[in-house]
């Protein structure tokens, strides 16, 4: 057969099959078709036909035109409102950059997303009220100008605010670049701009809402979590990394809206592929409800002619780089290169002019299509929903940026470009004024503003709005912590064990027990927390559907719908997102949940530092516990596990207090005061404590006024020498498990070298550092007033002898406070990569054991000419120290 004959026969065959299918649709409906197709598939497979796997549906809208609900609002008014929001958002960025070139801001992100947000504002996003939860909305960070512009129309922000976009320092009306609750604490609720974190946090937030309901800490509500993100943003591993949690747990209160403008910063997201289809397959594979919003209503009649599926097939062949080209090209170009490949396709478009073709709207710019998708998402039961909306980046910027590769960073527009934009969106600004790019808001009694207000009233208030309406709670009293202040009576325990005991006790507390949220990423047994599995249960929305393998044991693995522990599996990022949701529930839900997130300390700050930063921005409260910390205290685990870093990485987080406690009573004092500060006084701070796994006896808390205060402020004198008048004196600082080495060094120095040393427990270098700089700063700015003295100086200014510090962290930690000591400080620490070996070997390797602390003290005394260098030389020999040993920093 000639090939054209073959094609014809083929076509006839396809036509017959399609006609039969149409008949079944008509007679039996969609369910009948599903059954038939399933049977056909099985039959084909049995006959040996291999059917390639695809998780994709055709490249058309998920919701066909005949299943679209009626649009409930005024399309005309909404279009006018949206145009005004577009204009003011653009003007805000353009004006900011005129005043100060390089100040930045984004025009094209919001320009592409305007319809996605406006349909939400007019019909979906619910505000918070006294007796109902609002929706939780993660706005895409770079779309912030649109969010401000919307608030301006709503009358919540003024022209003055808009003129101060990105001018937070020079004006009290300044608007922050992106969503930052730290900076605009009555406006922004959830920080999003570090891409990937917003979607991740949204998943855990939606899940945490369920947790609160299942545990009876908040009323059931139908509130939704909306997360708006960019298609480029889906390349971040965090964006997609937790999507199976959402489907596995049937979190149907979650809606992702991915703005598929096919572009990221530098160029196309998938120039040679198709991001909508790629994401569809990923999300469908993960069990999400996927709604594609690709084509606008203009395409409906064209697609209606596509009886043979030619157009749909052609749509599916085009790669995104080419779609982007089409969006930036003329209608004639589109006709030639898209429809031109087949006369039958050309025929479908023949009634459309080039101009009409160029303007064929995409789904994400069509309110009807977006509304239909949102409605379906909100009504969907049993799975999370993702909406993949196709748009054009820089929509409306015309020649100056629409769909261009440079569009992401466009911040300036000349008069001509502003004029075109004005014309396209019908903004009532005169020719004389246009060059100024003035902000425009119709009067309060205009139909636009009335509409905006009415719609928001129906939806119960404005979003975003951050309100904190929570009662403060009383921190547990001293009785709760007494046993920890009393010490262990010679019994050995690790600080990790001590912490777990405190946690278990807090969980039993009548007042606050229910509010505690223990969070652990598959490490509970490492920390000895498994008794808690049984005590309070592991949270699971579905309870426990199986008989646990250890059901017969006392401490069996108990999952329960009202379980309290969030056992997240191996995801520090996910657990940190829980921490943020639980630690900000006081604002989100008016519930004072107190998260305790315990993790392998090395996989905390350096792995999820950006989430910790976001937690600070969110004004999150709670305790982070870095378990089995210390570069030499965690024996055996080697380079990747041994943490000598986290305390220095905790320095930059401004509202984080970081402690490296050594004893049970220190931990008790810190936790008690932490609860008091965060939940009684409602301070926006959070805590980091490192915990070690070395067992030793814990003493009774020393008497004395300054001890409690010292623990909290960073240091206190643990042991004063009995020989105050000795000739050779030293001040030794120790932290965490290394405090014991310091105490041993004190003994060696006393017994063998006649050096009388005082020993200090340094619980927080960070607090000492913060306090020292606070005093310095005040003194710098108030030169003629009585200078303030840093706390550490107050403690040690009059103390005699040399200063030596040792910790299980890098030397930069003690070095950071050395300037406030009366004499130089010798710092010992664990700079360098870890090793797998025992504690003693590691402490020798990193030069922080009792012998090195002794040696460092002697060297310092020799430098001060208090002893001769030969004493030091002899000590090196007596202490069996190899002077030629490898430098741990570089080996």
Ligand X SMILES: Cc1ncc(C[n+]2csc(CCOP(=O)(O)OP(=O)(O)O)c2C)c(N)n1
Binding site for ligand X (CB under 6 A): 109, 142, 193-196, 230-233, 259, 261, 263-265, 269, 393, 408
Residue nearest to ligand X (CB): 230
Exposure string over 213-249, b if 16+ CB within 10 A, otherwise e: bbbebbeebebbbbbbbbbbbbebebbbbbbebbbeb
Longest dimension (CA), the chain: 113
- With contacts defined by CB under 5 A, name the span among 257-265, 491-499, 724-732, 770-778 that binds Mg ion: 257-265
Closer to ligand X by Cβ: residue 109 or 601: 109
- With contacts defined by CB under 5 A, name the span among 11-19, 227-235, 345-353, 839-847 that binds Mg ion: 227-235
Angle at CA 444, nearest 5°, toward 441 and 445? 125
230: contact with Mg ion by CB under 5 A: yes
Rounded to the nearest whole angstrom, what is the least distance from the CB of residue 766 to ligand X in the complex? 26
Cα–Cα distance, 859 to 879 (Å, whole number):
14
Closer to ligand X by Cβ: residue 105 or 518: 105
Closer to Mg ion by Cβ: residue 231 or 572: 231
Rounded to the nearest whole angstrom, what is the least distance from the CB of residue 179 to ligand X in the complex? 12
- Residue 195's binding partner among Mg ion, ligand X, none (Cβ under 5 to 8 angstroms by kind) is ligand X
| Cβ neighbour number for residue 414 with a 10 Å cutoff | 10
Cα–Cα distance, 297 to 365 (Å, whole number):
10
Closer to Mg ion by Cβ: residue 324 or 642: 324
**What DSSP element (H or E) covers 42?**
helix 3-46
Rounded to the nearest whole angstrom, what is the least distance from the CB of residue 798 to ligand X in the complex? 50
- Residue 109's binding partner among Mg ion, ligand X, none (Cβ under 5 to 8 angstroms by kind) is ligand X
Closer to ligand X by Cβ: residue 259 or 807: 259
Cα–Cα distance, 498 to 689 (Å, whole number):
12
Exposure string over 794-808, b if 16+ CB within 10 A, otherwise e: ebbeebbbbbbbbbb
Tokens of 828: 């010992």
Closer to ligand X by Cβ: residue 174 or 394: 394
Closer to ligand X by Cβ: residue 614 or 756: 614
Residue closest to 121 by CA, chosen among 380, 376, 459: 459
Rounded to the nearest whole angstrom, what is the least distance from the CB of residue 459 to Mg ion in the complex? 28
Q: Using CB under 5 A, pick the residue from 174, 181, 232, 296 that binds Mg ion.
A: 232
Rounded to the nearest whole angstrom, what is the least distance from the CB of residue 275 to ligand X in the complex? 9
Rounded to the nearest whole angstrom, what is the least distance from the CB of residue 577 to ligand X in the complex? 15
Q: DSSP for 832-887, please give it.
A: S---SS-HHHHHHHTT-SHHHHHHHHHHHHHHTTSS-HHHHHHHHHHTT--TTPPP
Rounded to the nearest whole angstrom, what is the least distance from the CB of residue 203 to ligand X in the complex? 17
- Residue 485's binding partner among Mg ion, ligand X, none (Cβ under 5 to 8 angstroms by kind) is none
Closer to Mg ion by Cβ: residue 136 or 388: 388
417: contact with Mg ion by CB under 5 A: no
231: contact with Mg ion by CB under 5 A: yes
For tokens 């041994």, the residue is 642
- Residue 194's binding partner among Mg ion, ligand X, none (Cβ under 5 to 8 angstroms by kind) is ligand X
Report whether 154 contacts 86 (CB < 8 A).
no
3-state secondary structure at position 358: helix
DSSP state of 215: T
Closer to Mg ion by Cβ: residue 370 or 500: 370
Cα–Cα distance, 119 to 123 (Å, whole number):
6
Alpha carbon distances (Å) from 798 to 195, 552, 746, 768, 862:
51, 62, 19, 17, 20
3-state secondary structure at position 889: coil
Rounded to the nearest whole angstrom, what is the least distance from the CB of residue 321 to Mg ion in the complex? 13
Report whether 791 contacts 769 (CB < 8 A).
no
Rounded to the nearest whole angstrom, what is the least distance from the CB of residue 269 to ligand X in the complex? 6
- Residue 193's binding partner among ligand X, Mg ion, none (Cβ under 5 to 8 angstroms by kind) is ligand X
Q: DSSP for 278-342, please give it.
A: HHHHHHHHTT-EEEEE-B-GGGHHHHHT-TTSHHHHHHHH--HHHHHHHHHS-HHHHHHHTGGG-
Q: What is the CB-side half-sphere exposure of residue 629 using CA atoms within 13 A?
A: 33
Q: Is the dihedral of CA 716, 722, 725, 728 positive or negative?
A: negative
Closer to Mg ion by Cβ: residue 231 or 236: 231
Exposure string over 478-517, b if 16+ CB within 10 A, otherwise e: eebbeebbebbeeeebbbbbbbbbbbbbbbeeeebebbbb
Closer to Mg ion by Cβ: residue 140 or 592: 140
- The helix-helix angle for 495-508 and 478-485 (nearest 10°) equals 160
Rounded to the nearest whole angstrom, what is the least distance from the CB of residue 261 to ligand X in the complex? 5
Residue closest to 499 by CA, chosen among 639, 599, 357, 387: 599
Report whether 689 contacts 521 (CB < 8 A).
no
- With contacts defined by CB under 5 A, name the span among 230-238, 357-365, 585-593, 721-729 that binds Mg ion: 230-238
731: contact with Mg ion by CB under 5 A: no
- Residue 672's binding partner among Mg ion, ligand X, none (Cβ under 5 to 8 angstroms by kind) is none
- Residue 713's binding partner among ligand X, Mg ion, none (Cβ under 5 to 8 angstroms by kind) is none
Closer to ligand X by Cβ: residue 173 or 194: 194
- Residue 770's binding partner among Mg ion, ligand X, none (Cβ under 5 to 8 angstroms by kind) is none
Cα–Cα distance, 527 to 514 (Å, whole number):
22
- With contacts defined by CB under 5 A, name the span among 135-143, 226-234, 369-377, 634-642 that binds Mg ion: 226-234
Rounded to the nearest whole angstrom, what is the least distance from the CB of residue 82 to ligand X in the complex? 17
Distance of CA 432 to the CA centre of its chain: 46
Closer to ligand X by Cβ: residue 196 or 476: 196
Closer to ligand X by Cβ: residue 113 or 768: 113
Closer to Mg ion by Cβ: residue 261 or 564: 261
For β-strands 686-690 and 623-627, DSSP reports them as parallel
Cα–Cα distance, 477 to 241 (Å, whole number):
42
Rounded to the nearest whole angstrom, what is the least distance from the CB of residue 420 to ligand X in the complex? 22
Rounded to the nearest whole angstrom, what is the least distance from the CB of residue 413 to ligand X in the complex? 18
- With contacts defined by CB under 5 A, name the span among 261-269, 310-318, 788-796, 873-881 that binds Mg ion: 261-269
Rounded to the nearest whole angstrom, what is the least distance from the CB of residue 231 to Mg ion in the complex? 4
3-state secondary structure at position 761: strand
For tokens 């207090």, the residue is 657
Closer to ligand X by Cβ: residue 142 or 713: 142
Rounded to the nearest whole angstrom, what is the least distance from the CB of residue 264 to ligand X in the complex? 4
Q: Which residues contact 24 (CB under 8 A, 6 or more apart)?
A: 32, 33, 36
- Residue 369's binding partner among ligand X, Mg ion, none (Cβ under 5 to 8 angstroms by kind) is none
Binding mask 154-193 for Mg ion (x = CB under 5 A): ----------------------------------------
Q: Using CB under 5 A, pick the residue from 177, 234, 261, 327 that binds Mg ion.
A: 261
- With contacts defined by CB under 5 A, name the span among 78-86, 253-261, 327-335, 816-824 that binds Mg ion: 253-261
- Residue 233's binding partner among Mg ion, ligand X, none (Cβ under 5 to 8 angstroms by kind) is ligand X
Rounded to the nearest whole angstrom, what is the least distance from the CB of residue 241 to ligand X in the complex? 13
For Mg ion (CB under 5 A), the number of binding residues is: 5
Closer to ligand X by Cβ: residue 141 or 790: 141
Q: 728: which strand partners?
A: 755
141: contact with Mg ion by CB under 5 A: no
| Residues making contact with Mg ion (CB under 5 A) | 230-232, 261, 263
């Amino acid at each position: 057969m000639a090939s054209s004959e073959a094609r014809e026969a083929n076509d006839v065959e396809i036509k017959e099959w399609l006609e039969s299918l149409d008949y079944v649709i008509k007679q039996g409906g969609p369910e009948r078709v599903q059954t038939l197709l399933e049977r056909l598939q099985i039959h084909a497979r049995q006959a040996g036909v291999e059917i390639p796997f695809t998780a994709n549906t055709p490249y058309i809208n998920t919701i066909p035109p005949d299943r679209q609900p009626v649009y409930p609002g005024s399309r005309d008014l909404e279009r006018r409102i949206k145009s005004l929001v577009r204009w003011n958002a653009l003007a805000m960025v353009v004006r900011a950059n005129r005043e100060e070139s390089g100040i930045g801001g984004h025009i094209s992100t919001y320009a592409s997303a305007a319809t996605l947000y406006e349909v939400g504002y007019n019909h979906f996003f619910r505000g918070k009220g006294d007796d109902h939860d609002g929706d939780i909305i993660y706005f895409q960070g770079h779309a912030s100008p649109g969010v401000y512009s919307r608030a301006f129309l709503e009358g919540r922000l003024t022209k003055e605010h808009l003129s101060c976009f990105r001018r937070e320092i020079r004006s009290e009306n300044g608007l922050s670049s992106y969503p930052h609750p730290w900076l605009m604490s009555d406006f922004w609720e959830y920080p999003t701009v570090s891409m990937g974190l917003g979607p991740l946090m949204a998943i855990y937030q939606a899940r945490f809402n369920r947790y609160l309901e299942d545990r009876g800490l908040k009323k059931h509500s139908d509130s939704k979590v909306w997360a708006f993100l960019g298609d480029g943003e889906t390349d971040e591993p965090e964006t997609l990394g937790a999507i199976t949690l959402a489907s596995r747990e049937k979190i149907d209160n979650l809606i992702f809206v991915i703005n598929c403008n096919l572009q990221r910063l530098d160029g196309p997201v998938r120039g040679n592929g198709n991001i909508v289809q790629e994401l569809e397959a990923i999300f469908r594979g993960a069990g999400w409800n996927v709604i594609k919003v690709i084509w606008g209503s203009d395409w409906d009649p064209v697609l209606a002619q596509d009886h043979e599926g030619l157009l749909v097939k052609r749509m599916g062949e085009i790669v995104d780089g080419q779609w982007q080209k089409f969006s930036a090209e003329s209608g004639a170009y589109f006709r030639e290169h898209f429809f031109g490949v087949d006369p039958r396709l050309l025929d479908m478009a023949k009634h459309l002019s080039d101009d009409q073709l160029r303007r064929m709207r995409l789904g994400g710019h069509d309110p009807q299509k977006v509304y239909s998708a949102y409605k379906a998402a909100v009504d969907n039961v049993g799975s999370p929903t993702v909406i993949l909306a196709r748009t054009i980046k820089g929509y409306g910027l015309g020649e100056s940026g629409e769909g261009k590769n440079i569009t992401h960073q466009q911040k300036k527009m000349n008069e001509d470009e502003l004029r075109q934009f004005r014309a396209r969106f019908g903004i009532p600004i005169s020719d004389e004024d246009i060059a100024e790019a003035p902000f425009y808001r119709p009067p309060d009694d205009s139909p636009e503003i009335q509409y905006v207000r009415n719609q928001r009233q129906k939806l119960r208030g404005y979003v975003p709005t951050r309100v904190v309406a929570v009662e403060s709670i009383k921190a547990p009293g001293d009785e709760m912590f007494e046993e920890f202040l009393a010490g262990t009576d010679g019994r050995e325990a690790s600080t990790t064990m001590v912490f777990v005991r405190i946690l278990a006790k807090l969980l039993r507390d009548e007042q606050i027990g229910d509010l505690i949220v223990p969070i652990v990423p598959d490490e509970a047994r490492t920390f000895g927390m498994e008794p808690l599995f049984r005590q309070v249960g592991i949270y699971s929305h579905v309870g426990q559907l199986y008989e646990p393998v250890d059901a017969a044991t006392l401490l069996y693995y108990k999952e329960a719908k009202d379980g309290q522990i969030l056992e997240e599996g191996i995801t520090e990022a996910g657990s940190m997102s829980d921490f943020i949701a639980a630690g900000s529930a006081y604002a989100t839900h008016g519930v004072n949940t107190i998260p305790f997130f315990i993790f392998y300390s090395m996989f905390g700050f350096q792995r999820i530092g950006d989430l910790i930063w976001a937690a600070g921005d969110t004004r999150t409260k709670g305790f982070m516990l870095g378990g089995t910390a210390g570069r030499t205290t965690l024996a055996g685990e080697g380079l990747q596990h041994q943490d000598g870093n986290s305390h220095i990485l905790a320095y930059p987080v401004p509202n984080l207090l970081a402690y490296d406690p050594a004893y049970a009573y220190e931990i008790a004092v810190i936790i008690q005061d932490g609860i008091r500060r965060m939940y009684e006084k409602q301070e926006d701070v959070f805590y980091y404590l490192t915990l070690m796994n070395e067992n030793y006896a814990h003493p009774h808390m020393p008497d004395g006024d300054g001890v409690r205060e010292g623990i909290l402020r960073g240091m206190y004198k643990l042991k004063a020498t009995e020989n105050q008048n000795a000739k050779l004196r030293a001040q030794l600082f120790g932290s965490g498990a290394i405090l014991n080495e310091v105490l041993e060094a004190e003994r060696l120095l006393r017994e063998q070298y006649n050096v009388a040393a005082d020993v200090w427990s340094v619980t927080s270098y960070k607090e000492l550092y913060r306090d020292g700089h606070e005093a310095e700063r005040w003194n710098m700015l108030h030169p003629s007033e009585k200078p303030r003295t840093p706390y550490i100086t107050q403690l040690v200014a009059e103390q005699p002898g040399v200063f030596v510090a040792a910790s299980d962290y890098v030397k930069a930690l003690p070095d950071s406070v050395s300037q406030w000591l009366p004499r130089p400080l010798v710092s010992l620490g664990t700079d360098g990569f870890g090793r797998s070996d025992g504690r003693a070997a590691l402490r020798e390797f990193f030069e922080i054991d009792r012998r090195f602390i002794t040696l460092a003290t002697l060297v310092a005394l020799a430098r001060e000419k208090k002893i001769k260098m030969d004493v030091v030389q002899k000590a090196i020999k007596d202490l069996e120290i190899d002077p030629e040993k490898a430098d741990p920093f570089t080996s």
